[in-house]
Structure 1
Amino acid sequence: MTPLARRALAELLGTAFLVAAVIGSGIAASRLSPDDVGLQLLENSIATGAALVALIIAFQPVSASFNPVVTLVERALGRIGTVDTAVLIVAQVVGGGLGAVVANLMFDLDAVSVSTTERTGGDLLLGEVVATLGLVLVVFGALRSERIETVAFAVGGYIAAAYWFTSSTSFANPAVTLARTLSDTFAGIAPSSVLLFVLMQLVGGALGAVVVRLLHPSPSQETP
């Protein structure tokens, strides 16, 4: 298997498990705490943050971005090539879809149920810009730490917190956003809401790339 194929497989599997954690924990939370939305969000955020820590640690030796925005920022910073970028993003999107289907099936739901949860409004879109900008800063800042293993804890902790401090509950990931349209459950998002969410994530990623260049003019050789 070529190095790029190995990276693509890692991104596919990692994104699949991440989406399964997001959607699956959302379903479990809504069933276990049906009358308390705040508790549902707490359960969802803890599970997602913990899963991110574990997945990044497990896949980091090969590739552990699990996010097209992070991969695009890697390209913008000259860390990977255009072909690699395209292949990894496709793997992330496919992995996200597989994760959503598996999560639905694990909880005895239809493999695909298109979400009807509309997520609209300028406040939520601003939340996505902030969430994605912060994620990019955390990822590429942590990569410059003397202890590379801190990336997993930094990212997992940030996402768990961003579920709460952003109005959008921090999707911050186009592949995960698309995947969440496939489950009409707690973590779902209606397809009609996806385009603006993804656009705001790309805006946040672009702003993050600019700030990373300003803060860290010498690119790190580590990969997320």
Structure 2
Amino acid sequence: MKLGRAACAEFLGTAGLLAAVIGSGIMGERLAGGNDAIALLANTLATVFALFVLIETLGPVSGAHFNPVVTIVLAVRQPTAQVRRRVLVPVFILAQLLGAVAGAWLAHAMFGLDVLQASTKVRAGPAQWLAEVVATAGLLLVILRAPAGKGSALVACYIGAAYWFTASTAFANPAAVLGRMASDSFAGIAPESAPGFVLAQCVGAAAGYWLARCLGDRRTDD
């Protein structure tokens, strides 16, 4: 029963996050009159606010991962709960992936667009991949080092900053890649660009975990 509620929270949280990312991108692009900087600013602000709210409201239910690499890293660092984690990890990741696609579809429906889409926005190259390594490493470091009760604010602030200081606009989440693949909009990513992003995110997650261990992991989840 608890696992079911937690999986539901991961589905809803990831869906809400992707609806905010994609929906605000659509709205920003429509209102910005071709100014990508204004569209990105609107996209950033909506994502930051939504992420904070989602973590605060759903964190007590599931831990508010909303991200497969976060789920995997938190499972790796808690070997004493191996049986539980063997069940939790695949369930959470499935819920996150389904939620990401559902969030993209919801955003399209709210703006009167075709629900089923595939992005044509190419995001590729060493600079983009390096940016995803940095964005994901930083995210995991923030999560693992955040003082008790401050994780939601710190994660939201970090992602908001990383939208602007990384060349990739800080996807930092394989589930987000899947959701954005399903949206031919401002926030989209072409399917052929997805493998490079996901691989870079995995490398970044490992780097963030290693850095947190070097500095002393402060996270105390059960």
Aligned counterpart, 1:128: 132
The aligned amino acid for 1:136 is L
- Alpha-carbon deviation of 1:31? 0.3
The aligned amino acid for 1:74 is L
The aligned amino acid for 1:163 is Y
Aligned counterpart, 1:210: 210
Between 74-83 and 93-102, report the one with greater CA deviation. Answer: 74-83
Deviations 1:2-25 (CA, angstroms, capped at 9, x unpaired): 111111000000000000000000
Between 72-81 and 20-29, report the one with greater CA deviation. Answer: 72-81
Query: For 2:178 and 2:117, how far apart are their aligned partners in 1?
Result: 13
- Say if 2:108 is the partner of 1:104: yes
Contact 2:120 2:184 in 1 (8 A): yes
Provide the aligned length of Structure 1 versus Structure 2: 217
Aligned counterpart, 1:160: 160
Matches within 5 A, 1:1-224: 2-63=1-62, 64-78=64-78, 81-142=85-146, 145=147, 147-148=148-149, 150-216=150-216, 220-222=219-221
SS in structure 2 at match of 1:42: helix
SS in structure 2 at match of 1:62: helix
- Alpha-carbon deviation of 1:73? 0.5
Structure with greater proportional helix content? 2
Contact 1:76 1:209 in 2 (8 A): no
Contact 2:181 2:190 in 1 (8 A): yes
SS in structure 1 at match of 2:60: coil
Runs of 4+ in 1 over 6 A off after TM superposition: none
Query: For 1:87 and 1:69, how far apart are their aligned partners in 2?
Result: 13
SS in structure 2 at match of 1:118: coil
Contact 2:13 2:58 in 1 (8 A): yes
Deviations 1:8-46 (CA, angstroms, capped at 9, x unpaired): 000000000000000000000000102210011111001
Unaligned runs of 5+ in 2: none
Query: For 2:216 and 2:181, how far apart are their aligned partners in 1?
Result: 36
Query: For 1:112 and 1:140, how far apart are their aligned partners in 2?
Result: 36
SS in structure 1 at match of 2:61: coil
- Alpha-carbon deviation of 1:222? 2.1
SS in structure 2 at match of 1:61: helix
Q: 1:152 to 1:220 in 2, by over 3 A?
A: closer
Contact 2:133 2:203 in 1 (8 A): yes
Deviations 1:96-127 (CA, angstroms, capped at 9, x unpaired): 01000000110000001100000011000000
Identity rate, percent: 48
Query: For 2:142 and 2:73, how far apart are their aligned partners in 1?
Result: 13
Query: For 2:220 and 2:36, how far apart are their aligned partners in 1?
Result: 42
Query: For 1:22 and 1:221, how far apart are their aligned partners in 2?
Result: 29
So what's the TM-score if we normalise by structure 1? 0.94
Contact 2:48 2:156 in 1 (8 A): yes
